[in-house]
Amino acid sequence: MKLIHVVGARPNFMKAAPVLSALKQYPSVRQMIVHTGQHYDANMSQVFFQQLSIPEPDINLQVGSGSHAQQTAEIMSRFEVVVTGERPDLVLVYGDVNSTIAAALVCAKLGVKIGHVEAGLRSFDRSMPEEINRLLTDQLADLLFTPSIDGDKNLAREGIAACKVHFVGNVMIDTLVRLLPEAKKNIPSHLPERFILVTLHRPSNVDDDKWLSKAYELLSEVSESIPVLFPVHPRTRKRLESVMNEKPRSSGLKLLTPLSYLEFVGLQTRASLVLTDSGGIQEEATYLGIPCITMRENTERPITVDVGTNVLVGRDLTRARAVLHETLSGRFRRGSIPDLWDGRASERIARVVVS
């Protein structure tokens, strides 16, 4: 069996790594990695390949940045050449980024079987580019691997045949389980006793200067009483610079370059709380039992709110302040770990793939 993994953006890498390694146990499977080049900075891509021990991509499509249509179209036209030449039996796509839908569309048109890892998640918010990518990829996929049971329910509601859907658990947690000991070894010794870890990069938060300015003020205010560490995504840095010029900066607010996987996980384990708009971090915080405040109106990962440590605050700054205050004074739900977030999701995927 010839199988191509398509990855392109930072959150894909920690999902593909364990699946690649689980499939290595089956000598009948020949694996190839295609990197679309959606993310190209060393600290958004290369460092993840190194730390996660992912082999060098066989092919890099080098599409780079652009509008959604440009990026998706470039990936499609370049990936079509690869699929036509290689004729794989199965293409695995990951998550909800533009690389995911672009590769799935190419395969669907060429009659090549598609597996979607992290299928079925829904925010029910079509203003998010990722929601469009999720909905369409799941319609096209032949094998749908869900991380949590809400995914199965969403897919059933959308008319996807149950025989295509496999509840396997969360591959992101596979990577976390494997690398947690390593990440803990690498925690810097000079970290403050207590701190808040922040990431923000969603267009809904960072592409709106007025809102970003308010969010920045909140972070500055909080950092007067507890240090705030904020590794800044390239998309956010551009927008934040204009906002910051107009405001005084608190010395407790530390803006950092994007961190490697091990550095970030290490910090997460020690954080008093994380404040984020990322999808994967809501899951990691739930697994680690670290309180998580999500600056979004909705989440495609409701299980992190229902059973985990996640609280959605949206754009409600009064609520954000209240939840921050309560959490820092020790009042937060401890949460529990969702079913099948046990470090073995990729083994289950591999078994389905070879069956």
Active site residues: 201
Q: What's the one-letter identity of residue 115?
A: G
Q: How far is the CB of 249 from ligand UD1 (least distance, A)?
A: 22
Q: Residue 203 Cβ, how far from ligand UD1 at the closest point, in Å? A: 7
Instruction: Tell me the C-alpha distance between 331 and 264, whole Å.
Output: 24
Sheet (strand 165-167) strand order: 59-60, 30-35, 2-7, 90-94, 113-117, 143-146, 165-167
Within residues 207-266, the interface with ligand UD1 by CB under 6 A covers: 233-235
* Sheet of 196-199, strand order: 253-256, 228-231, 196-199, 273-276, 292-294, 310-312
> Secondary structure of the chain: what % helix, strand, coil (to 5)?
50, 15, 35
Single-letter code of the amino acid located at 351: R
* For ligand UD1, the closer CB: 62 or 84: 62
**Contact, 35 vs 97, CB < 8 A?**
no
Return the DSSP state at 69.
H
Task: Choose the binding region for ligand UD1 from 6-14, 175-183, 222-230, 239-247 (rule: CB under 6 A).
Answer: 6-14
Among positions 73, 129, 307, 315, the unique one binding ligand UD1 when judged by CB under 6 A: 129
Tell me which of 201, 296, 301, 348 binds ligand UD1, using CB under 6 A.
201
Comparison of 234 and 289: residue with beta carbon closer to ligand UD1: 234
Residue 44 lies near ligand UD1 (rule: CB under 6 A): yes
If binding is defined by CB under 6 A, does position 38 make contact with ligand UD1?
yes
Q: Is 40 in the site for ligand UD1 (CB under 6 A)?
A: yes
Measured CA to CA, the distance from residue 67 to residue 78 in angstroms comes to: 16
| 175 and 18 Cβ atoms separated by less than 8 Å | yes
Looking at 74, 130, 174, 284, which residue binds ligand UD1 (CB under 6 A)? 130
x/- string (CB under 6 A) for ligand UD1, residues 79-118? Answer: -----------------xxx--------------------
Residue 39 contacts ligand UD1 per CB under 6 A = yes
Among 35-43, 147-155, 184-192, 222-230, the segment contacting ligand UD1 (CB under 6 A): 35-43
Comparing CB distances to ligand UD1, the nearer of 178 and 237 is 237
Segment interacting with ligand UD1, rule: CB under 6 A, options 40-48, 136-144, 180-188, 214-222: 40-48
The span of 20-28, 33-41, 86-94, 136-144 binding ligand UD1 (CB under 6 A) equals: 33-41
Residue 34's contacts (CB-CB under 8 Å, 6 or more residues apart) are: 4, 5, 6, 7, 57, 58, 59, 60, 61, 79, 82, 103
Q: By CB under 6 A, how many residues form the interface with ligand UD1?
A: 18
Confirm if 303 and 129 have CB atoms less than 8 A apart.
Answer: no
Rule CB under 6 A: is residue 16 a binding residue for ligand UD1? no
List interacting residues with ligand UD1 (CB under 6 A): 9-11, 38-41, 44, 65, 96-98, 129-130, 201, 233-235
